[in-house]
Amino acid sequence: MSGNDIGLWFRSIPDITRYWFAGSIIFPLAGRFGILNYFDMILDYAFISRFQIWRPFTCLLYYPITPATGFHYLIMLYFLYSYSSRLESGLFAGKPADYLFLVIFNWLALIVVCLFLGFPLLFDPMVMSILYIWCQLNRDNIVSFWFGTQFKAMYLPWVLLAFNLIIRGGGFSELLGILVGHLYFFLMFKYPQDFGGRTLIGTPSFFYNFLPNHRGVMSGFGSAPPTRQPAARADQQGGAHRWGQGNVLGGQ
């Protein structure tokens, strides 16, 4: 019976999050038990010079599980499941191609930055980038942290950064994730809506050939960030917003 419950729960995870979540369990365990070599899964220039094209994928999914890192890995795995599911079933409900583009955009941006900085693993910053985007889209939602502390979602990424800086002496991977998440959020939402600029990034049309939109999908509460453009600009455009109505979000 418990096996059936786990299977039902796993199949209830939105598709893209489900594959990402499963891969983030399979590859760390494979490395932990010696099935795969750690040095063959990290991001390295060998993927260019030696054409080891799997490295950009494995470095996203792999995380070294040790007694010192196991708890952190479980926390980040929970964040992956929780916040990626909320985004995919919230703002991106019924739009799998758009969510896949978000994931690929953040992934490619992190590959460029991490190659330049010599940072070998993308698991932490990638999860943090997704968490950051959800927190910005639900910035006024109240979230809970350790010891019952509560605060607005907009502060959660920074709390996690400070927490890891103090407890683990880290924080660099969290900062990378915040920066990449903010890059997507700015280009997709802030620049077109608050500054009246044209949309600088968008889902390639061929994505929809493989992952067409689903109609009639109900999503949670919340909405895309409202515009802050002056009212006069809207009047000049006949009172119509150029960006359209945002979809609703999955909440806390």
Residues 196-249: tens digit of each pLDDT: 667 778 899 999 999 999 875 555 434 566 655 444 443 434 433 333 434 433
CB atoms within 10 A of CB 15: 13
The count of other CB atoms within 10 Å of the CB of residue 222 is: 21
Mean pLDDT value across the chain:
84
Give residue-wise pLDDT tens across range 54-66.
999 999 999 999 8
Which residue has tokens 């889209």? 137
pTM score of the predicted model: 0.84
Q: Tell me how far CA of residue 228 lies from CA of 128, 144, 225, 237, in angstroms.
A: 26, 29, 9, 15
Q: What is the mean pLDDT of residues 167-173?
A: 83
What the block records as the tokens of 6 is 């786990």
User: What percentage of residues in the chain have a pLDDT greater than 70?
Assistant: 83
* Closest-CA residue to 41 (of 20, 23, 62): 62
Residue 90 near residue 220, CB atoms below 8 Å = yes
Q: Minimum mean pLDDT among 27-36, 154-163, 226-235: which range?
A: 226-235
Each residue's pLDDT tens digit, 114-146:
999 999 999 999 999 999 999 999 999 998 887
Strand partners, 37: none
Tokens found for residue 182: 């903010």
Q: What type of residue sits at position 164? A: N
Rounded to 5°, the CA angle 88-133-124 comes to: 90
pLDDT at 225: 64
- Which two three-digit tokens encode residue 237? 């455009």
User: Is it true that domain 2-194 has CATH number 1.20.1540.10?
Assistant: yes
Q: Where are the domains of the chain?
A: 2-194
- What is the predicted pLDDT for the residue at 96? 95
Residue 175: which of 187, 160, 191 has the closest Cα?
Answer: 160
pLDDT attached to residue 2: 61
Q: Structure tokens of 43?
A: 């991001």
242 or 51, higher pLDDT: 51
d(CA 41, CA 122): 11
